[in-house]
């Protein structure tokens, strides 16, 4: 049986590092319903998406880098974090594929996923899956696909998150999840230590470099490189 939708509506004054660390150690994720954000994501879903386009980077700047919740959560988890990749997903109700970006084979959390969700979005995150050493295979959406038998054997219970009006989900990148329904913009942030070992993502648009420089904050940056 699925858990009831878990919407963690934490006032900013209560989004302390201790509360964030507790939620991530226990559940591996936080979710926030936000109708205004959902509307912005819905409008963005009607526009062509290319990660290197300046308008896509501007949307990311305004809705991820300048979001107090994202800043608060990432700041509680890492001294500094870098965006290395972002993509969009349009999910249909028939999608049952169980996905991951990383798995619990990596012992310590070194990456976090930030999802911006449009209205009527539904995501399933499997509780405690970020602690399990699952083996993944290449999936249909460019993500790892995790066999359901592995998840069931590990006893990871599915937690259903329904964002009727849209919103924000932030979770440990080792967590296993299913994008069930809706339009989702997915962003991967990595720790400073991880950034030392992962290659930079190429953005084939020289104009993007100026916009990327504008995105940086004291605790957040990017892990991109650009064409000469």
Q: Show the tokens assigned to 191.
A: 């720790």
Q: How far is CA 90 from the centre of its chain?
A: 15
15-226: CATH architecture: Sandwich (2.60)
- What percentage of residues in the chain have a pLDDT greater than 70? 92
Task: Give the span between the Cα atoms of 35 and 33, in whole angstroms.
Answer: 7
Torsion over CA: 49, 52, 55, 58 (sign): positive
Give me the residues paired with residue 123 across strands.
161, 179
Q: Show the tokens assigned to 24.
A: 């991530």
**204 phi and psi angles, rounded to 5 deg:** -80, 55
- Interval 33-54: pLDDT, tens: 999 999 999 999 999 999 999 9
pLDDT of residue 122: 93
- Span 135-160, mean pLDDT? 91
DSSP 65: I
Q: Are 98 and 145 in contact (CB under 8 A)?
A: yes
**181 burial level (CB within 10 Å; 0-12, 13-18, 19+):** buried
pLDDT of residue 129: 92
Q: Show the tokens assigned to 44.
A: 């963005």
Q: Assess whether pLDDT exceeds 50 at residue 1.
A: no
- Interval 174-204: pLDDT, tens: 999 999 999 999 999 999 999 999 999 998 8
End-to-end CA distance of the chain, in Å? 53
């Amino acid at each position: 049986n699925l858990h009831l939708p878990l919407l963690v509506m934490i006032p900013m004054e209560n989004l302390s590092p201790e509360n964030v660390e507790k939620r991530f150690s226990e559940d591996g994720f936080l979710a926030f319903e936000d109708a205004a954000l959902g509307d912005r994501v819905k409008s963005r879903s009607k526009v062509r998406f290319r990660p290197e386009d300046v308008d896509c980077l501007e949307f990311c700047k305004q809705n991820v880098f300048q979001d107090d919740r994202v800043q608060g959560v990432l700041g509680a988890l890492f001294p500094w974090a870098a965006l290395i990749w972002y993509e969009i997903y349009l999910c249909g109700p028939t999608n049952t594929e169980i996905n991951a970006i990383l798995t619990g084979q990596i012992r310590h959390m070194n990456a976090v996923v930030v999802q911006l969700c449009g209205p009527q979005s539904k995501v399933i995150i499997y509780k405690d899956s970020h602690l399990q050493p699952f083996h993944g295979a290449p999936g249909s959406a460019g993500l790892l696909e995790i066999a359901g038998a592995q998840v069931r054997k590990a006893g990871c219970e599915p937690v259903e998150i329904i964002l009727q009006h849209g919103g924000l989900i932030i979770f440990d990148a080792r967590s296993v999840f299913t994008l069930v329904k809706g339009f989702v913009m997915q962003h991967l942030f990595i720790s400073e230590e991880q950034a030392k070992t992962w290659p930079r993502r190429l953005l084939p648009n020289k104009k993007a470099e100026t916009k990327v420089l504008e995105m940086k904050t004291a605790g957040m940056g990017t892990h991109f490189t650009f064409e000469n």
